[in-house]
Structure 1
Amino acid sequence: MKKVIKGWEHIPGIHCGSAALRDVAGFYGLPLSEPMCFGLGGGLGFFYLIDNEISPTRNIHLRGPDMEPNFFSLFSDKKEWMFEKDNEKALQTVLDYLDRDIPVLIQTDIFYLDYYNSGTHFPGHILVVSGYDSGKEEIYLSDTGFNGLQAVSFKNFKKSRSAKIKPYPLSNNWFDVSRLNTEADLQILIPRAIKTNALNMLAGVTSPRGVSGVERILELSKDIVNWKGVEDWKWCFRYSYQVIQKRGTCGAGFRWMYRDFLNEAKDYYDFEFTEQIAIKMDHIGNEWFELSEFFKKISEQDSPDSFLTHSSQRLFNIYNLEKNFYTEIVSNL
């Protein structure tokens, strides 16, 4: 038996999480753009992890934790990621919600998603489960930039949801979205979301991936000079370039996506102030983009030694720009 959520439509997007938010919001009659969903969910973050058991051994991530439940908590009851140890039970739970035409958000490792044909583990990739076929034993997924629904076998679907890969091992992470309040006032929600994200960046937020916050940028600025002694330094720089510029980040570690959110937000809240911080975020995004290009260049050298001090200085500059940005928001909202 084939079952697809009645009335479901997937629109290809840029980032897995914000594209999923946009799809579900649209399904329930809330026509928001992907940047608006990203901003309302408080998508900005920064992680820096040192772990010699992962690849690369120096790992950065520029998106904040819990953007998806944060977003839906604005429009419904409080949402949190839920977990399930039993893979069969986790699968059946998803199928039960689909039978009721309720979309389910999940986290996956793309290594096991057939249509990626990927040899690289990447846990934490967010999708919406949109249907299934019990006869073929396959699940149908709405995934970021792909057109239509993507089919994955039940077997690999279960593997993708339970992969124990550092730095983000999965335990069938999921939550359902059964309704949304389409009458929620964006004039209230937007400044609240902007301030909350700023507070989180200043104070730091602990998650299964580690601590996200602006001080982690300072930590990287201080530590990057030590990368010369790291065996996989080339991959550390190349991966950092990819994470900032290439992997669904809108080109600048999500900072340009947040800029686009702020440019939309100014139509709902304090046009002049929001326009000013949008311009500042655009500049911050430019700095991240240029840094990623510099990291790419370093990854192609025989030695990183002559580039490390400049890398540290550029990161320290970004740290100051971001800290001042969030401090200004907290002081004015």
Structure 2
Amino acid sequence: MDLDAVPQEGNATLAGHAKLMYARDAQGRVVTTTSRGWEAEEIVTTHAVDALVAQAAAARERVAQGLASPLEYWMYDRRMDVALLSQTSGFWQWRVRRHLQPRHFAALSGGPARALCAGAGPVRRRTQGTAMNAIAAPVADAGFRHSQAAHCESGVISSLMRHHGVPAMTESMALGLSSGLSFAYLPFIKLSGLPLISYRMPPRAMIKGLLAPMAARFCFETFRSPEDGQRRLDALLADGHLVGLQTSVYWLPYFPPNMRFHFNAHNLLVYGKEGDEYLISDPVFEEPVRCASADLARARFAKGVLAPKGLMYYPQAIERKAVDAGAVRKAILKTVRNMLAPVPIVGVRGMRTLAGRIAKLAPADPRTVAFVGHLVRMQEEIGTGGAGFRFIYAAFLQEAAALLGKPQLLQMSDRLTAIGDDWRAFALKAARMVKGREAVDPAKLAALLREQARREESFFRDLKAAVS
């Protein structure tokens, strides 16, 4: 994607925020810039939010008619489904469904009632904008400089590394050196009842993937209770540590309302505390934010898929302060192996498996539109996505070309940028189907996805040859 093609359409779901993106400038270099969002993101996010709002409204009407228990309304109002409420409350799914019926819910008392209600969670604070979250004190007072990034985990780990004396650790270098680029179609893991589709390695893989190349030692801690997690975080901040956390997006009040979904693998940095508010460097935002301790605790201890369990991490030692060319070559070859793995749900084979699943969708089935919209949200909004990670990795290949003395990697960078453009074209085609501007055509989307798999397979085979 060229700089002048970076979308500035003003995605309303971003509530005025800007995202950091990677694009190619007039000299052919991949550089960072900001985007106010584009139509495809807004279409699929709005579609998902509208569906949830409609579910909650219908449930409320059913409660008023005595056909459903209040639990059904609160479940949908919290953007949950039966599976997620089961995970957060500890009830089997059949028991959750049972208590969606008024007479069974009315019979609840004591511990079971509290468990179900606690699973649905407290009322979210609905904030508009970020004025109330703005940091009043200069960030420099804490000895830390906030940097916006395209992705949370690569942004957090690169900021941590730079803060501790590794100036060359850009976000793109962090993604490439940790072999973070990937693809996975995981139908056995559900998010809001739909399969997990990932364009990166699993959570924490980027962080742990940098330990060996940088001869680093990190401490990772989880906790049994929010109280223990908060005490430990406060102690580390008092000692001057910069601390990384894994959290749930849904319970972070500074996120725009339409961006709050139950995604439990969002990373951020905490660099201080004033009164009852933590000072947070969230890499996907332009500026630092504040977050009340109760809200942060809820986000740290959210339950469900990828439950963070209060996870925090911080470096104990980083012995190597410069990036080694040998480590870069090794990381590239590992990424090639991941993308060409002989596993049907991983890499280019995973793309083909997903294409086969899409091809079987019925065009007239309303669930098909939900599936296609979910696919685009996973690609372009949740976790940076298919095009976004390809653009970041293209920037890494430019850095690798200089480190390895291999100018052919510049050509590979251009090729991957073009592949990223095709991912965005795929997302736009799918979003237009979700919006109703084009007929829903699963076969067409499956064909486009198979072509992406073909191009990526060819790319990664050539990349292997370029560094071998």
TM-score tier after normalising by the smaller chain length: 0.7 to 0.9
- Tell me by how many angstroms 1:234 deviates: 2.1
Q: TM-score of the superposition, structure 2-length normalised? A: 0.62
Instruction: Report the equivalent of 2:278.
Output: 139
- The answer to whether the aligner puts 1:155 opposite 2:294 as a matched pair is yes
1:297 has 2:450 as partner: no
Contact 2:372/2:430, CA 8 A, preserved across alignment: yes
The DSSP-based 3-state class of the residue aligned with 1:42 is coil
Q: Show the 5 A alignment for 1:9-158.
A: 9-31=145-167, 32-50=169-187, 54-55=191-192, 57-65=194-202, 66-77=205-216, 79=218, 82-118=221-257, 119-133=260-274, 136-158=275-297
CA RMSD of aligned residues (A): 2.8
Counterpart of 1:47, as a letter, is A
Q: Distance in 2 between matches of 1:100 and 1:253?
A: 36
TM-aligned CA distance change 1:178 to 1:273, over 3 Å: same
2-structure distance, mates of 1:81, 1:60: 26
Match of 1:191, SS state, is helix
Q: Describe the shift of the 1:178–1:199 C-alpha distance in structure 2 as closer, same or farther (beyond 3 A).
A: same
Q: Secondary structure at the match of 1:284?
A: helix
Give 1:250 shift. 7.7
Aligned partner of 1:241 in structure 2 is: 376
Is the contact between residue 112 and residue 156 of structure 1 (CA under 8 Å) also seen in structure 2?
A: yes
State how far apart, in whole Å, the 1-side matches of 2:433 and 2:439 are.
6
Cα distance between partner residues in 1 of 2:310 and 2:217: 19
| Aligned counterpart for 1:271 among listed residues 406, 412, 420 | 406
For the residues of structure 2 that align with 1:153 and 1:204, how far apart are their CA atoms? 46
Distance 2:226 2:213 in 1: 30
Task: Specify the SS of the correspondent of 1:47.
Answer: strand
Q: Deviations over 1:89-113 (max 9, x none)?
A: 2222222222222222221111111
**Counterpart of 1:315?**
449
Shift of 1:279: 2.2
Secondary structure of 2:267 counterpart: strand
Change (3 A) 1:250 1:266: farther
In structure 1, the gaps of 5 or more residues are 206-210
**What's 2:367 paired with?**
232
> For 1:292 and 1:80, how far apart are their aligned partners in 2?
38
Distance change (3 Å), C-alpha of 1:165 and 1:77 = same
The 1:185/1:43 distance shift into structure 2, 3 A limit, reads: closer
Query: 1:232, 1:246 → 2: CA distance?
Result: 20
Find the aligned partners of 1:95 and 1:52 in 2 and give their Cα distance.
Answer: 34
Following the alignment from structure 1 to structure 2, what is the Cα–Cα distance between the partners of residues 107 and 68? 12
1-side partners of 2:453 and 2:377: how far apart?
20
Post-superposition Cα deviations, 1:43-86, rounded to whole Å, max 9, x if no partner, equal 21222233696325244221222112212442233558553333
Structure 2 residue aligned with 1:176: 314
Bigger relative contact order, structure 1 or 2 (CA pairs below 8 A, ≥6 apart) = 1
Mapped pair 1:219 → 2:353? yes
TM-superposed CA distance for 1:318, in Å, is: 1.3
**Structure 2 residue 461 is the aligned partner of structure 1 residue 327:** yes
Cα 1:52–1:37 shift into 2, 3 Å: closer
Corresponding residue SS for 1:221: helix
Greater Cα radius of gyration, structure 1 or 2 = 2
Quote the residue 1:208 is aligned against. none
Alpha-carbon deviations, 1:141-189, whole Å to 9, x = none?
11023244322122121111121233x3322233211332353343222
Q: Deviations over 1:282-319 (max 9, x none)?
A: 222122111111111121239965x2112111111111
Query: Which residue identity does 2:165 align to in structure 1?
Result: G
Q: Secondary structure at the match of 2:456?
A: helix
2:334 paired with 1:193 = no
Q: 8 Å contact 1:259–1:282 — kept in the other structure?
A: yes
Rounded Cα–Cα distance in structure 2 between residues aligned with 1:203 and 1:18 = 23
Any gaps of 5 or more consecutive residues in structure 2?
1-136
Q: CA deviation at 1:249?
A: 2.6
**Contact 2:397–2:413 (CA under 8 A) maintained in structure 1:** yes
Question: Normalising to structure 1: TM-score of the pair?
Answer: 0.85
Cα contact 2:219–2:316 (8 A) shared by 1: no
Q: Is 1:164 aligned with 2:307? A: no
